[in-house]
Structure 1
Amino acid sequence: MMMGKKRRLMMMEEALPHDVVELILERLPVRSLLRFKAVSKQWKSTMESRNFQERQLKHHQQSGGRDPDVFMSSASTQRTYVMGSSSSSVKIPNPWGKENPTTTGYFVSGNSCDGLVCLYHPLESGYVFNPTTRWYRPLPLCQLQQLMISQGESSYENEPGIFKLGFGKDTCTTTTTTYKPVWLYNSGLDNAATCEVFDFSTNAWRYVTPSAPYRVARVADPVFVHGSLHWFTDCKETKVLSFDLHTEAFQVVSSKAPFPANSYDENPYSIVLCNLDNRLCVSHMKGPDQVIWSFNSGNKTWEKLFSIDLDLNFVLYGSPTVSAFRPLVLLDGKKKKKKKKDLLFYDIMKTECLLIYDPETDRLGDFTFTADKSMGFLVCYFQSLISI
């Protein structure tokens, strides 16, 4: 059966000009393309070229109609959950296991880029990883990590918590896309933060000057939206700080935010940054509601996107939550006739299940996925062939 399919594909290659074959291949899903690499050396070379990979990804992003997969990283394994396929997840063999045989619970950067996710650990080398193809590239230790290793537990005494690694891409480049992992962490200077950016061309970290004008909150994940990474500031009045990955300059997104100025003084887990439909959003827990705000970059204002009844959530969920829900994605799926998209999210303090909120009925749906143990750290991604 497989030999017959391969023979038909080879006949198509012989009968059609290769540029026409490429147009056909661009429309195929990634998992099919991975199998078709074996058809010929020319097909394999085509699919491994960055130009083809970017065209294939762009075509599938524009055609839509498919929800992203959910990547889960815990201390024991990496898994992926395909939306709507089943109630179970699929384990992904760890491709760097031989290099790093110890069991490490990797954190996951708050967003994916073109099917790539960034795994990191405060005291160990991180990885940029494609869960679909299992391609990966290790990241050397930055200066912050080296300092934390040398200082040991004393590095946490003054500022408890862990700084989070940001991951995004320069959307203004005219040639190939430039991806950038970014560490932003508070320095010894008052009201300032140190920034380190990883350069894949030199395989090294470098400092960015001038430094960020505000200290940043350690608890919240940085979020990538429209070519910039965003952080919550750690100051008297909570702000959103952005870092343009093209100009590598900092600026404040908005000083007039709907969430409390001293959110981190009340509860550092009460607000969460996220990206929904390529818009900067904030999830804020304030009983009896969980409110999700969306930033309108046109008029520079915050608009209420969802308001979820926490009392109802307690009934379905079993116990009160102590943190803001982390939104993952607005779902398209099979419900295109709906005026409003469903929201997929999870509780960052109780990561055993994924939940769906239906804004039209104002109800939480059944758990999409429930794990025996903690799912670990989650991020949504679209399947792609991209590597760096």
Structure 2
Amino acid sequence: METQATAIPKLPNDVVIEILTRLPVKSLLRFKCVCKSWLSLISSQEFAKSHLRNSKKSSNFTHHRIMLNYRGNLKQCSVQSLFYEPISDAFDTDYYHYSVRDSRNFVWVVGSCDGLICLAINKKDLILWNPSTRISKKLPDFAVKINFGSYFAYGLGFDKSSNDYKVVGFFNNNRDLSEVIVKIYSLKNDEWKRIKNFKGRWLMDDPATFANGKLHWISNSDLELKSGWDIVSLDLETEEYGILEMPAYVKSGFYSRLGASEGSLYVLCSHLSNAEVWIMDDCNQSWNKVVTIPYIDDFLKYTYKRALYVLKNGEVLLLCGSKFVIFDSRDCSFRYPEIRNSGEVITASTYLESLVSPLL
């Protein structure tokens, strides 16, 4: 007796989309080959935005990565692995087609936002790159001559009002660093434009930090007649500068470094016997000290420190010199995760795996 074949149940489209937006980028790129409808869906900007929102909300760092720079050689590793495993693996990236492996060239990560990374090659050649999808775009020349001894830096962020990713270039050819030429590149318009110069001495040894629609950097500015080292911001929507005063105790430290973690701006300050992490309360526009990191040995005391992640549970992922350190303020303990398949880390940048394309 023949039996009737059981029909395979079909999930509603909205359920399929909800499932897909929670998957890793690597899987989604393979799933484009399943059928034309999935190719169209996964390739759409709407799907990329939904996937990005879910990735940001993930609590276990499934989609979070760190780009490692080994004297111009870029590799990446998993943030989840660094936090939860004693040994992590570093994996090669595909940036080689930019000819940066030529000994005359060098590459720096000068910005990261929503899965896009801005690379600077030979000081002035800028590339927007999504290392997860391997899609890239070379930016047009910003038409500012960089002389020997010139000071310059960059930043990358997102302007919600125009749904546009923007790269900002800061250039100074004056010896006294008294006035800085500022240009903004719009990915949507694919062009640079010059905005109002920034007046004041600056300190920008890192890319500008993006948080809450603004790029931030530490500077000594004459804006609003204030003095001393504070945090200067540039609003990507209004293109206006602002000043955010650092906590007084932070100013007395040896050095300070900005960063952004879980959507909030923070500053790490190194003192003689410890380091402190202060986070900005966006609602009250006030600083809250969240972690004090004691120097239990000379390694922690004398290495240059940068905080890559500051978690609400009290853990902090630090890059100390060329080594990663995790401090847990709940029991005042330290962990020292190792990374295989790598060399000496010069610097590290965080990024989020996403489907966001630099080709709008």
Q: TM-score, normalised by structure 1?
A: 0.78
Amino acid at match of 1:328: L
Match of 2:289 among 293, 304, 307: 304
Provide the residue aligned with 2:330 in structure 1: 360
Provide the residue aligned with 2:29 in structure 1: 34
> 3-state DSSP class of the match of 1:212?
strand
Deviation for aligned residue 1:27 = 2.8
Deviation for aligned residue 1:184 = 2.1
Provide the residue aligned with 1:328 in structure 2: 308
Q: How many residues align?
A: 338
The structure-2 alpha-carbon separation of the partners of 1:276 and 1:201, relative to structure 1 and needing over 3 Å to count, comes to closer
* Runs of 5+ unmatched residues, structure 1: 1-10, 157-161, 332-338
Provide the residue aligned with 2:279 in structure 1: 294
* Runs of 5+ unmatched residues, structure 2: 1-7, 222-226
Amino acid at match of 2:134: R
> 3-state DSSP class of the match of 2:17?
helix
In structure 2, C-alpha distance between the alignment counterparts of 1:122 and 1:195, rounded to whole Å: 19
Deviation for aligned residue 1:307 = 1.2
Amino acid at match of 1:321: Y
Deviation for aligned residue 1:17 = 5.8
Provide the residue aligned with 2:313 in structure 1: 340
Structure with greater strand share of residues: 2
In structure 1, C-alpha distance between the alignment counterparts of 2:107 and 2:135, rounded to whole Å: 17
Match of 1:250 among 241, 251, 255: 241
Percent identity of equivalent pairs: 24
Higher-RCO chain (CA-CA 8 Å, sequence separation at least 6): 2
> 3-state DSSP class of the match of 1:185?
strand
Runs of 4+ that moved beyond 6 A: none
Query: Is the contact made by 1:72 and 1:78 (CA closer than 8 Å) also made in structure 2?
Result: yes
Query: Is the contact made by 1:221 and 1:272 (CA closer than 8 Å) also made in structure 2?
Result: no
- Matched ranges for 1:188-337 at <5 A: 188=174, 191-209=178-196, 211-234=197-220, 236-254=227-245, 257-260=248-251, 270-310=255-295, 312-314=296-298, 317=299, 320-323=301-304, 325-330=305-310
Provide the residue aligned with 2:88 in structure 1: 87
Tell whether 2:346 aligns with 1:376.
yes
Provide the residue aligned with 1:126 in structure 2: 126
In structure 1, C-alpha distance between the alignment counterparts of 2:267 and 2:191, rounded to whole Å: 32
> 3-state DSSP class of the match of 2:201?
coil
Amino acid at match of 1:384: S
RMSD: 2.7
In structure 2, C-alpha distance between the alignment counterparts of 1:275 and 1:370, rounded to whole Å: 26
Query: Is the contact made by 1:258 and 1:302 (CA closer than 8 Å) also made in structure 2?
Result: no
In structure 2, C-alpha distance between the alignment counterparts of 1:282 and 1:164, rounded to whole Å: 19
- Matched ranges for 1:7-156 at <5 A: 15=10, 18=13, 20-66=15-61, 68-82=64-78, 83-84=80-81, 86-94=87-95, 96-97=97-98, 102-103=102-103, 104-109=105-110, 112-121=112-121, 123-144=123-144, 147-148=145-146, 151=147, 153=148, 155-156=149-150
Deviation for aligned residue 1:322 = 4.7
The structure-2 alpha-carbon separation of the partners of 1:361 and 1:100, relative to structure 1 and needing over 3 Å to count, comes to closer
Q: TM-score, normalised by structure 2?
A: 0.84
Match of 2:153 among 143, 160, 164: 164
Deviation for aligned residue 1:77 = 2.3
